[in-house]
Chains A and B, each alone.
Chain A
Amino acid sequence: MPEQQKPAGRADEEALLQDVEARLRRMLAAKGEIGQEHLRQLAQEIKATLVGELTSLVGELSSVTRELHGQITSLSGTIHDAKTQIAALRPDEIHARHVPDATDELEAVVGATEQATETILEAAEKIEEVSGELESETGERVVEQVTRIYEACNFQDITGQRIAKAIGALQDIEGKVDGLLRIFGDRLAVDCAPVDLEEVAEDGRAGDRKLMNGPQLPGAAIDQAAVDALLGGDD
């Protein structure tokens, strides 16, 4: 391999060996023969050279190691902080309650508007039937208004599609939260206490404010008969 392509460490080693070899040759040339004293001197010189080089190398490695250790410690701190912040977002609550609740409410909106629209259309159709019994001009005016009702009921289709998009976006968020929970899993549980979903009040509400929950989902609400029974009145 050409000299200039050898890695730096290998070049240093070769330079060291060449230096030692050069000293040996000078000593041999100067003295003509190698005596015991010369051998001792030579051995000490070689040792001093090697020790010097090794000490220098160890020093460099220590410096690199210290720097690397510092970087890893800093990175570990950053990761710990990120985990703590993610845990504070309560992804388990987002997954188990907030997203499913929001999805359920939106689906209830679609169901309720569909029912209401069907009722409106049915009434409009009956009006249109009856309009045939009216005198011509009046009947036409009634039909004109019935047509406006049909056109206005387009809204249910549009709102239904918009809500479907919103549900899709929520489900995407839920998927990403699932991903976080999979990555951090048990380690998130170490950073924050498990939540009792039954006990946590929305928005930290207290007292009578806790009673304000808006419309219930179908199946969860009590009907008027149940209310009357609770009140114990004779209406």
Chain B
Amino acid sequence: MAAIDMDMPILVVDDYKTMLRILNNLLKQLGFKNVDEAMDGGNALQKLRAKPYGLVISDWNMEPMSGLDLLKEVRADQQLSKLPFIMITAESKTENVVAAKEAGVTNYIVKPFNAATLKQKMTAVFGDF
């Protein structure tokens, strides 16, 4: 695993403004200051294709493009296919996790979550920081 770049741009995707704000604050506490936001999958995909990101953290339950649809689009795009993608979602059935795994998710966090879990899952993706 390559050492994590604390300045890497991170894209946070959620249709609830408060959740975007919470994630932004928690990422700042962890040392990541370069955080962008998107409120739906379509907007997120536009941003991902416009500049390079080091990580996507996305909700699942969004319309019209869900987080799972976004993940599939990212994995299908040659430029984006290797991008680390963490799903943070209230969808907590086994079949959800299986579907996300089959779609190529890097890690999966169930809401409500805490700061320690976020750090743990990011560490699992990037190594200690």
> A: which residues have CB within 8 A of B?
114, 117-118, 121, 124-125, 128, 143, 147, 150-151, 153-158, 160-161
Contact = CB atoms under 8 A, between A and B. Distances in A.
Interface string B1-36: 000000000000010111101100110010000000
Contacts, number: 52
B107 interface: no
Interface stretch (B48-56, B69-77, B93-101, B109-117): B109-117
A118 B17 contact: yes
B124 interface: no
A124 B18 CA distance: 13
Given A143-B29, A147-B26, A147-B29, A158 B21 contact: no
Interface residues of B, number: 17
A143 B112 CA distance: 20
A153 B29 contact: no
B112 A150 contact: no
A154 B26 CA distance: 12
A156 B115 contact: no
Given A150-B26, A151-B115, A156 B90 contact: no
21 contacts: A114-B16, A114-B17, A117-B18, A118-B18, A118-B21, A121-B18, A121-B21, A121-B25, A125-B25, A150-B115, A151-B112, A151-B113, A153-B18, A155-B112, A156-B16, A156-B18, A157-B14, A157-B90, A157-B112, A158-B111, A160-B16
B25 A154 contact: no
B66 interface: no
Contacts of A150: 22, 25-26, 115
Contacts of A147: 26, 29, 115
Contacts of A143: 29
A156 B29 CA distance: 21
Contact of A154 (B17, B61, B112): B112
A124 B25 CA distance: 10
A67 B111 CA distance: 65
A198 B14 CA distance: 41
Given A121-B21, A147-B26, A147-B29, A158 B90 contact: yes
Contacts of A160: 16
Contacts of B16: 114, 156-157, 160
A4 to B, nearest CB: 59
Question: Which of B16, B17, B90 has the largest count of A CB atoms less than 10 A from its CB?
Answer: B16
Contact of B90 (A114, A121, A161): A161
Nearest to B113: A154
Contacts of A121: 18, 21-22, 25
Given A114-B17, A150-B25, A160-B16, 8 more contacts: A121-B18, A125-B25, A128-B25, A151-B112, A154-B19, A154-B111, A156-B19, A158-B90
